[in-house]
Amino acid sequence: MSLQQGDSLTSHNFGLQIDGVMVEYLAEVSGLSMEQDVITYQQNSANGPPVIRNLPGVKKNGTCTVVRGMTESPAFTQWINDSIAGDMGTARKNASIIMMDYQNTEVKRYNMRNAWCSKIDTSTVKAGDASALTETVTITFEELVIE
Classify domain 14-146 by CATH number.
2.30.110.20
Return the pLDDT at 9. Answer: 63
Return the pLDDT at 146. Answer: 93
CA atoms of 52 and 91, how far apart (whole Å):
43
For the segment 3-57, what is each residue's pLDDT rounded down to a tens digit?
Answer: 667 666 666 788 899 998 888 778 899 999 989 999 999 999 889 899 999 999 9
The three-state secondary structure class of 88 is helix
Return the pLDDT at 95. Answer: 95
For the segment 107-144, what is each residue's pLDDT rounded down to a tens digit?
Answer: 899 999 999 999 999 999 999 988 889 999 999 999 99
Q: Which helix (H) or strand (E) holds 77?
A: helix 74-85
Return the pLDDT at 39. Answer: 96
List b or e across 89-102, with b for residues whose CB sees 16 or more CB atoms inside 10 angstroms.
Answer: eebbbbbbbbbbbe
* Domain definitions of the chain by residue range: 14-146
For the segment 79-110, what is each residue's pLDDT rounded down to a tens digit?
Answer: 999 999 999 999 999 999 998 888 888 889 99
CA atoms of 145 and 43, how far apart (whole Å):
33
Return the pLDDT at 70. Answer: 85
Residue 76 φ then ψ, to 5°: -70, -45
